[in-house]
A and B are shown apart, each in its own frame.
Chain A
């Protein structure tokens, strides 16, 4: 195992080498960091979810043609070219995996978390989704249906989590705080207020 400290040192060493050898210019590195910290990430997906929770016409457009509805919100980036959004309900729980590798909707959720790319998640989310969901603290009733989406081809999937009960009076910023990246992968629900 490599400690986080060593990873940081190694990244610094690599960055120095790339700059010294003139392979990368410093503003390019700043741009990559800014992209993934501020412009591509689950904050975008969260805004899509909150809009769907609060705007029924948008939700209908999102479920009918997710690509267009997401671009309409300004999230037009790589790995978002062909999107599908699937809706969780009390009867249906959706969860997304890429059994091939790590396909993930960057424009709305950013880069995939490490566990999403791990062989155990990729194998078990397909073969034993209920077991995996329990490990994420997500209990699914025996009556509900679990739908797994293996996004190994060209489309990218995002889950529209259920709006938690007791949130009717919340404003958009308060709702946004309840929408986690994991809830849009489908391994958890949106947080309760």
Chain B
């Protein structure tokens, strides 16, 4: 296919959100303490190693989104809640970090379990 001006314009306009209008139950609510699961998938994941096994707190529930991991593996949308999760810098990086510093990362429901 020859790339024309119209193709370019189509590529760069708003291509639609990954948000899904589906009634999917949330496993967690804002304020819940969670632990990121320790998983080691061989393919694509948006769960970075540095948060696996670490405890954080649900800061925001962004709503229901397509699940990037299953999409990458041909497993469909698997729509589920996506949360902004706050981790203390010390939980992630140890005692050299300032006690007040923190990191927020967006994590899907399947990445999380309730902290013990």
Contacts and interface: CB of A to CB of B under 8 A. Distances in A.
Residue of A24, A27, A147, A150 contacting most chain B CB atoms (<10 Å)? A150
Interface string B1-45: 011110111011111111100000000000000000000000000
A78 B15 contact: yes
B106 A99 contact: no
B76 interface: no
A33 B48 CA distance: 34
A99 B104 contact: no
B106 A155 contact: yes
Contacts of B17: 81-82, 154
Interface in B90-105: 92-93, 98, 100-105
Main secondary structure of the interface of B (DSSP, over half): mixed
B21 to A, nearest CB: 13
A23 interface: yes
A94 B76 CA distance: 34
Interface in A98-132: 99-100, 106-107, 126-130
Interface in A28-81: 28, 30-32, 35, 40, 76-78, 80-81
A178 interface: no
A31 B102 contact: no
A100 B46 contact: yes
A81 B15 CA distance: 8
A153 B67 CA distance: 9
B101 to A, nearest CB: 5
Nearest to A36: B12
B2 A24 contact: yes
Given A27-B4, A127-B93, A148-B104, A154 B18 contact: yes
A18 B74 CA distance: 32
A127 B17 CA distance: 30
Given A25-B2, A127-B92, 9 more contacts: A81-B19, A82-B18, A84-B84, A99-B48, A107-B14, A150-B48, A153-B108, A154-B66, A154-B82
11 contacts: A23-B2, A24-B3, A25-B5, A28-B3, A28-B7, A31-B8, A78-B11, A81-B16, A99-B50, A106-B12, A127-B50
Interface of B: 2-5, 7-9, 11-19, 46, 48, 50, 62, 65-66, 68, 82, 84, 89, 92-93, 98, 100-108
Interface of A: 22-25, 27-28, 30-32, 35, 40, 76-78, 80-82, 84, 99-100, 106-107, 126-130, 142, 144-155
